[in-house]
Each structure stands twice: as C-alpha cells, then as structure tokens.
Structure 1
C-alpha cells in the first residue's frame, strides 16, 4: 500500500484506501467506476482506534472510496463537509453508526 501511495499520489506512507477512477464505458454500456485498493492491516487498526466494529469500518472505507470514484473529495473544508455528510447519510441508511460527528448533519 505504501508503494502504491508513493507511486500514484506522491505520499511515502501507507493509507487505508486508494481509489483509482476508470471513467469509461465497457462493452455492455455499464459504467465501470474504477478500482479500490484497501489495506486490511490499517483498517483493522483503525476499527480499534475509532472504537468501531470491523464490519462498520470496512463498510465506511468502501463507501469512502466509492465516493472518491464518483468525484467527491476532501481537499478543502467545503468538499470535506459535503463528503462526510454523504458518508454519514449512507452509513445510517445501512444501519451503521455515523463515522463522523458533525454540526448540522
């Protein structure tokens, strides 16, 4: 994961998830969003750190990565708030706790 993060994002550290958008139509006219690469070791550590079930943490990371594939980001405060609000909404719709505690969400 560290090597992928360095190669594709220029960051010499491990991360919990990387998203690689595809943004093209495959032969059956179904949109292929891209690939998600998840780091099991980091996700397991984070589930303990954030006091979340392993299932909930995995769900959150897949939702987070998929939102990146759909064009969401968290490079600035405005984008971060929009993305985190969307993540909270999706997690609640799947009967998980909110991963973020925000004002007005």
Structure 2
C-alpha cells in the first residue's frame, strides 16, 4: 500500500484506501467506476484505534473509497463536510454507527 500511495499520490506512507477511477479515455462501460485498494493491516489498526467494530470500519472505508470514485473529495473543509455527511447517511442506512460526529 505504501508503494502504491507513493507511486500514484506521491505520499511515502501507507493509507487505508486508495481509489483509482476508470481512465476517461478507455471508459466504455459506465457501470464500472474504477478500482479500490484497501489495506487490511491499516483498517484493522484503525478499528482498534478508533474503537470501531472491524466490520463497520471495512464498510466505512469501502464507502469512503467509492465516494472518491464518484468524484467526492475532502481536500477542502466544505468538501470534507459534504463527504462525511454522505458517509454518515450511508453507514446509518446499513445499520452501522456514524463514523463522524458533528
């Protein structure tokens, strides 16, 4: 994961999830959003760190990555707020606790 994060994002650290949207030049099947790469070790660590049920943490990271594939981001405060609200709503709809508190 560290190698992928460095290669594609220039960050020399491991991360919990990476999203790779489908290249627009080869987009022939609009049902395909792209690829997610999830790091088992980091997700397990974060589950303990944030005192979250492991299944819930996996669900959250899958949702988070998928929202990136759909074009959401959290680089700016307003973008982060919107993305986190969507994540909370989806997590609640799946009977998980909200990952973010406002």
1:25 counterpart = 2:28: yes
Task: Return the structure number with greater strand share.
Answer: 1
Q: Provide the rounded CA distance (Å) in 2 between the counterparts of 1:64 and 1:53.
A: 16
Q: TM-score with structure 1 length normalisation?
A: 0.92
Between Structure 1 and Structure 2, the one with more helix by share is 2
**Residues 22-101 of structure 1: matches in 2 within 5 Å?**
22=22, 23=24, 24-26=27-29, 30-101=30-101
Q: Could you tell me how far 1:25 is from its partner in structure 2?
A: 2.8
Give me the CA root mean square deviation: 0.9
Provide Cα deviations, 1:51-84, integer angstroms capped at 9, x if missing partner: 0100000000000000000000001000000000
Gaps of 5+ in 2: none
Structure 1: runs of 5+ lacking an equivalent: none
Runs of 4+ in 1 over 3 A off after TM superposition: none
The total of aligned residue pairs comes to 99
Q: Secondary structure at the match of 1:7?
A: helix
| Secondary structure in structure 2 of the residue aligned to 1:32 | coil
Structure 1 counterpart SS, 2:41 = helix
Q: TM-score, normalised by structure 2?
A: 0.94
Q: Distance in 1 between matches of 2:84 and 2:28?
A: 28
Report the equivalent of 2:12.
Answer: 12
